[in-house]
Amino acid sequence: MPLQFVYSLKDFVTDVCPWSGNDPAVTSAPSKFDVTIKAGWTDRMKKGLFRYPLCELQTRILPGPLGFVAQLNIQRGVVRRKPQEILSVQQEFNAKQFNFNKINPDEIVCEMIRGSDDVSDSGELTPPCRMVVLVNVSPLEFGHCLFVPDPPRCLPQILTRFAIQVGIESVLLSSDPAFRVGFNSLGAFASVNHLHLHGYYLDHELKIESVPTKALVPAKGFHRLLTFPAGFLFYAEAEHVEAVSKAICHATDFLVAKNIAHNMFLTRGCSPDVQREKHSCLRKGVRIAVWPRLSCFGAKEESAFNVALCELAGHLPFKNKKDYELTTEKDVTDIIQMYLLPEEEFYRLELQLVDHLLCL
C-alpha cells in the first residue's frame, strides 16, 4: 500500500525566504512535504526505476533581461516514451493507450490526502480527496514527479478544480522556493491524455515570480502579465486557495470549450498587489500563470525545442549540446512568439475571460 501523506491547513508554509544563493542563514528548513517528495524520488532513482540516471544538469543563464534558465538534458530527448498523438483539446481518454494505471506500482511515491477536519473557504468541512504522486521516469530535473488525481477515474488531460487546488496546495506545502508545478493541456505539448500535473525542483529564480501585472478582476485574483510571454496570472495565499482554484478552473473550462490550448505554471512569488524590489519580498503566496496559445496537434518531436509549461515560465530544457550552447534570448523569444496567440486575438480573449469571471 502506498505511503499516505495526510495534510491540513496547518502544514502550509506561509513565509518562504526569497532567493538567497547558498546562504544558510536565510534558507528555510525542509517541510514534511519536501522530505517526503525528495526522499521518495531519490529512493526510486537508487532502485533504478528511471529511464536514465539524472546527475546535476549543466545549466546556464542566457544573457538578456528575461533571465532564461537553460539546461542540457540529452537523455530525455533520446529515451523518453513516445508521446501520444493528440488531435483535440477536448480529446477523450483512451484506455488502450498508455495511462498511469499501467505504471509499475513501485513508481508511486505517496498518496496526498487532505485531512477531513479542515474547513473550506465557505466554512464547510473539506472532504478527504486522493492525489497519487509518482516519479516521472524521464525526469526534467531533481524531484520531477507527476500528480495524478484518482487514476482509476481515467480523467482526460483537462484541468479540474481539485487538480488545480492540490497543485496550489503542494506549492504551499513546500518550504523550498525551487519547487514548481505545471500543466500542459492537450494541444499544448501534453504527452499523455490522462489528467496529471508536473512537479519538480529548479534551484534558480525565475522572472515569473516577480514580474509586474495589471489587475483585471482583482476579486478573483485575475491579472494580466505585463512582460513577455503574454499571458494571465492568478495569485493565491493559503486562506484563498479554494476560491482562486474555482476561478482558475472557470477560466480554463472556458478555454477548453473554445478548444484553446493552454499551459499553466505555479510557483512561489510576490503578491501582484505589492510592487517591491525582487529580492525584498517573501514568497507568501503562489503565482499561477496561464498562457492561452496556438494548438499543436499530432505527435510532438522529442528532439525539438517544444514550447510548453517550462519554456513559457523561463526554464529551457535543451536536448542537444549545440542548441544549449548557441541559442540566444532572441532565438528563444522568436520561437515562443510563434506559439502565442496573435495580439488581437489575445486581447479579445482577455475581454471574454473578464466577463466570464465577473459572472462567477
CATH code for the domain of 215: 3.30.428.70
Give the whole-angstrom CA distance, residue 144 versus residue 80: 14
- Domain of 282 in residue numbering reads as 4-358
The H or E element spanning position 233 is strand 232-236
Maximum alpha-carbon separation in the chain? 55
Helix ranges (H only) for 108-214 are 161-173
DSSP β-bridge partners for residue 332:
none
* Contact by Cβ (8 Å): 18, 281: yes
DSSP 128: P
Give the whole-angstrom CA distance, residue 214 versus residue 195: 31
What is the pLDDT at residue 125? 43
Q: Which of 144, 196, 240, 262 is catalytic?
A: 196
CA–CA distances in Å: residue 296 to residues 5, 191, 306, 311, 338 = 36, 12, 10, 15, 11
What is the pLDDT at residue 268? 96
CA 256 to mean position of chain CA atoms: 18
Alpha-carbon torsion (66, 72, 78, 80), positive or negative: negative
| Positions of E strands within 115-167 | 130-135, 145-149
Give the whole-angstrom CA distance, residue 127 versus residue 113: 9
What three-state secondary structure class fits 141?
Answer: coil
* Contact by Cβ (8 Å): 233, 272: yes
Prediction pTM value: 0.94
Rg (CA), the chain: 19
Q: Is the peptide bond before 229 cis (omega within 30 degrees of 0)?
A: yes
| 55 Cβ contact list (under 8 Å, min separation 6) | none
What three-state secondary structure class fits 133?
Answer: strand
| 21 Cβ contact list (under 8 Å, min separation 6) | none
| 246 Cβ contact list (under 8 Å, min separation 6) | 161, 360
What is the pLDDT at residue 277? 46
- One pLDDT digit (tens) per residue for the chain, 360 residues: 789 999 999 999 988 877 665 554 456 789 999 999 999 999 999 999 999 999 899 999 999 999 999 999 998 878 877 788 889 999 999 999 999 999 999 999 999 998 866 655 555 545 557 899 999 999 999 999 999 999 999 999 999 999 999 999 999 999 999 999 999 999 999 999 999 999 999 999 999 999 999 999 999 999 999 999 999 999 999 999 999 999 999 999 999 999 999 999 999 999 998 754 444 467 889 999 999 999 988 765 655 688 999 999 999 999 999 999 999 999 999 999 999 999 999 999 999 999 999 998
Nearest in space to 309 (alpha carbons), one of 252, 262, 251 = 262
Q: Is 204 a catalytic residue?
A: no
Considering its fold, how many domains does the chain have in total? Answer: 1
Surface-to-core class of residue 132, CB atoms within 10 Å of its CB (0-12 exposed, 13-18 middle, 19+ buried): buried
Give the whole-angstrom CA distance, residue 336 versus residue 312: 7
| 51 Cβ contact list (under 8 Å, min separation 6) | 75, 79, 80, 81, 137, 138
178 HSE (CA, 13 A, CB side) = 20
Give the whole-angstrom CA distance, residue 8 versus residue 126: 10
